């Protein structure tokens, strides 16, 4: 089945056109371009492009460097997309794409080539926001391994990062240029036919480091070489003056802006191509597609270490070119001299360049996108199950009290029973859909915490400490405790370390729990018939049960006299649930089938045979900041916190 994706990007360029057409051949794509080509990093003379793929350029306006396209949110909301991908560019488009993806419940993917932190005040202020998108994207597509390594240092799970080799139209740039075309170009430029051409092609801006190239060339002793500095930019007058001061006449040429369709002619006469970019406060050169273009003509490339193509392993030292330190004219001069003075070395580098570029194609780049899309869809496949569950045929009455008439619609797919107060998903999913959901989640349990358990070790230790206090015990040592719905077992392991005799039950996580060294069972029926527990813990489980009240009755039956049960479940009366309504994150998880308000949960516990219930108002330290902790404390005291926590005791309660 063909998938449907929406890609949000500034413009279609001459080097992304082929990629977009390849992606459109594989899946149903919609491209929304939010710019007119006015970004600071784009040479306006290149213009914007179109291709044979569904796309639209959106109208908008600029406030400084901020491009605003008012129609983008509505376009994304109306699009029938299985996932939304946004490039890192676009201070308006990126957050809009993310928010729409989350509101629609579809995966959000990010495409970036950034591999270093900026050092400007703006970058420092925006850094936390950028890292938020890195860490919360369902998958991140990057130019090369250097970007992946950088993102890992920023806290991104490496399994969510996919390399799409930064490529271009190799067929065009590798075309055979005739000797007549080469001769005509040299004639037009005034470059003698017997000279070796050192080529720079790009924007003449400070970040490109051209001044270091001119200094390096000035120190060359070879009289049969010339330097072509092709391009336009604000630094051109400064660079022309520098070349005039340092180099002999007729040795450095500034031909001006080169059209993209003419660039291949310049590579065809080049002996070596140089990319001398430098690190700026705004960051490093993301890639340098000039290297791809040059390699297609078999031209070796000398690049500085701050060029993404070098850091990403595309330009390789002594294999298809050389990598030199940035801002180091002597090292750059030495590398140029090695190529100019050794024809055999230059030929070997040329062969290496052609061999390298053969593996960097739009098809290979599209493979990276496809892998990322597939991963994101698998990782968030619960959205498909959620949609299917809404269409399934099931009973319309309240599953707790049987009421079939008095309901209020709330939180999207949920109804609230006016009789007992239970919130329940309607229509209810079928069992096979739930089995599919949990089965897929446990294929990669660390990536699907919504279904396999989100309790971390730190939270588990906090829960255990608070539980002991609530029970009036200094320690839990010696207690026989059942962890029902143990998930990935963090709480069970903490209880074990504290000396409790722990049993774990999880129908899908049993193999994983056993690998963790825990005594695990798939169901309550598998437990030894005569086994009785001092306590049972069930953290964020009852909301997954089709009939949680029956499970609570089973708890009562396997508790020893005076035993207790600790139940935690999302609070549908909490502030987040009230504010976000149908977008409340707990209501959007397809495994969540029922929610209990405080009164409803107390009633269910009492009807299950528990004599005394106690609501626990724990101020769990989810955040480190004082402001966050203060907010959580206030919400807990107002009973508006996100979690209901109850301690209930067996009717045959022991007395001290």
- Please tell me the predicted confidence (pLDDT) of residue 630: 67
pLDDT tens-place string over residues 368-426: 999 999 888 877 654 444 444 344 334 567 888 887 766 666 556 888 888 888 998 88
Question: HSE on the CB side for 635, CA within 13 Å?
Answer: 21
- Choose among 318, 322, 327: nearest CA to 284: 327
Mean pLDDT confidence for 107-115: 95
DSSP 235: T
**CA gap 254, 266 in Å, rounded:** 13
- Please tell me the predicted confidence (pLDDT) of residue 389: 39
pLDDT tens-place string over residues 218-253: 998 778 999 999 999 999 999 999 999 999 999 999
- Please tell me the predicted confidence (pLDDT) of residue 520: 93
Mean pLDDT confidence for 517-529: 90
- Max mean pLDDT among 260-269, 582-591, 623-632 falls in 260-269
Mean pLDDT confidence for 592-604: 92
- Please tell me the predicted confidence (pLDDT) of residue 289: 95
- Please tell me the predicted confidence (pLDDT) of residue 442: 72
The answer to whether the beta carbons of residues 573 and 597 sit under 8 Å apart is: yes
Read off the pTM.
0.62
Across 319-328, 404-413, 431-440, 621-630, least confident range: 621-630
CB atoms closer than 10 angstroms to residue 432: 10
107 pLDDT more than 70: yes
At 267, the pLDDT band (50, 70, 90 cuts) reads: very high
Q: Which domains does the chain have, with CATH numbers?
A: 4-167+363-379 (3.40.50.2000), 171-357 (3.40.50.2000), 453-650 (3.40.50.150)
pLDDT tens-place string over residues 501-519: 999 999 888 888 898 899 9
Return the beta strands (E) in 588-641 as ranges. 594-595, 610-615
Is the torsion defined by CA of 176, 178, 182, 188 positive or negative?
Answer: negative
pLDDT tens-place string over residues 462-482: 889 989 999 988 889 999 999
At 151, the pLDDT band (50, 70, 90 cuts) reads: very high
**Helices (H), strands (E): how many in the chain?**
25, 26
- Please tell me the predicted confidence (pLDDT) of residue 221: 77
> In this structure, what token pair is assigned to residue 308?
């993404």
- Max mean pLDDT among 344-353, 374-383, 570-579, 613-622 falls in 344-353
- Please tell me the predicted confidence (pLDDT) of residue 290: 96
At 88, the pLDDT band (50, 70, 90 cuts) reads: very high
- What is the overall mean pLDDT for the chain? 88
Bridge partners of 581, per DSSP, are none
């Amino acid at each position: 089945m063909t998938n449907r994706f929406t890609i949000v990007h500034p413009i279609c360029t001459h080097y992304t056109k082929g990629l977009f057409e390849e992606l459109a051949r594989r899946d149903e794509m919609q491209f929304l371009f939010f710019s007119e080509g006015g970004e600071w990093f784009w040479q306006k003379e290149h213009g914007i492009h179109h291709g044979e793929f569904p796309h639209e350029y959106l109208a908008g306006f600029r406030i400084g460097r901020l491009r605003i396209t008012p129609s983008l949110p509505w376009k994304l909301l109306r699009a029938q997309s299985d996932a939304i991908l946004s490039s890192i560019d676009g201070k308006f488009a990126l957050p809009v794409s993310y928010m729409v993806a989350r509101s629609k419940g579809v995966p959000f993917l990010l495409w970036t080539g950034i591999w270093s932190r900026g050092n400007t005040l703006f970058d420092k202020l925006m850094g936390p926001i950028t890292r938020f998108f890195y860490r919360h994207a369902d998958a991140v597509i990057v130019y090369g391994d250097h970007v992946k390594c950088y993102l890992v240092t920023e806290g991104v799970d490496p399994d969510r990062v996919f390399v799409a080799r930064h490529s271009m139209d190799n067929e065009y740039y590798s075309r055979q240029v005739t000797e007549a075309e080469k001769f005509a170009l040299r004639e037009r430029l005034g470059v003698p036919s017997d000279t070796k051409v050192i080529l720079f092609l790009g924007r003449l801006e400070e970040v490109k480091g051209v001044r270091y190239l001119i200094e390096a060339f000035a120190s060359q002793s070879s009289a049969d070489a010339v330097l072509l500095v092709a391009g336009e930019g604000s630094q051109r007058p400064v660079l022309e003056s520098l070349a005039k001061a340092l180099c002999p006449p007729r040795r450095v040429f500034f031909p001006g802006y080169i059209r993209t369709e003419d660039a291949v002619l310049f590579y065809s006469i080049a002996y070596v191509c140089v990319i001398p970019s430098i690190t700026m406060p705004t960051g490093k050169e993301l890639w340098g597609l000039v290297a791809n273009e040059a390699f297609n003509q078999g031209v070796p490339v000398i690049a500085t270490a701050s060029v993404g193509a070098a850091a990403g392993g595309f330009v390789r030292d002594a294999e298809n070119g050389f990598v030199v330190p940035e801002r180091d004219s002597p090292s750059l001069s030495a590398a140029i001299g090695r190529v100019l003075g050794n024809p055999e070395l230059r030929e070997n580098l040329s062969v290496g360049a052609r061999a390298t570029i053969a593996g960097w194609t739009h098809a290979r780049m599209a493979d990276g996108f496809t892998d990322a899309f597939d991963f994101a869809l698998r990782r968030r496949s619960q959205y498909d199950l959620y949609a299917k569950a809404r269409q399934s045929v099931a009973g319309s009455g309240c599953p707790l009290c049987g009421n079939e008439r008095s309901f209020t619609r709330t939180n999207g797919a949920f109804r609230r029973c006016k009789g007992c107060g239970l919130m329940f998903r309607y229509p209810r999913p079928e069992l096979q859909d739930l089995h599919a959901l949990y089965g897929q989640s446990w294929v990669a349990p660390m990536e699907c915490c919504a279904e396999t358990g989100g309790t971390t070790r730190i939270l588990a230790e906090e829960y255990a400490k608070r539980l002991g206090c609530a029970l009036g015990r200094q320690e839990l040592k010696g207690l026989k405790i059942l962890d029902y719905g143990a998930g990935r077992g963090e709480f069970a392991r903490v209880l074990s370390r504290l000396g409790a005799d722990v049993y774990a039950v999880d129908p899908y996580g049993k193999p994983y729990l056993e690998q963790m060294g825990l005594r695990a069972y798939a169901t309550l029926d598998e437990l030894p018939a005569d086994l009785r527990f001092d306590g049972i813990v069930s953290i964020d489980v009852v909301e997954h049960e089709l009939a949680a009240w029956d499970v609570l009755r089973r708890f009562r039956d396997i508790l020893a006299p005076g035993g207790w049960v600790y139940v935690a479940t999302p609070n549908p009366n909490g502030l987040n649930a009230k504010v976000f309504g149908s977008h409340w994150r707990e209501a959007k998880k397809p495994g969540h089938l029922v929610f209990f308000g405080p009164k409803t949960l107390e009633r269910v516990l009492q009807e299950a045979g528990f004599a005394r219930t106690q609501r626990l108002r724990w101020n769990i330290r989810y955040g480190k900041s004082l402001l966050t902790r203060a907010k959580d404390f206030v919400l807990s005291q107002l009973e508006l916190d996100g979690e209901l926590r109850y301690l209930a005791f067996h009717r045959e309660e022991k007395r001290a």
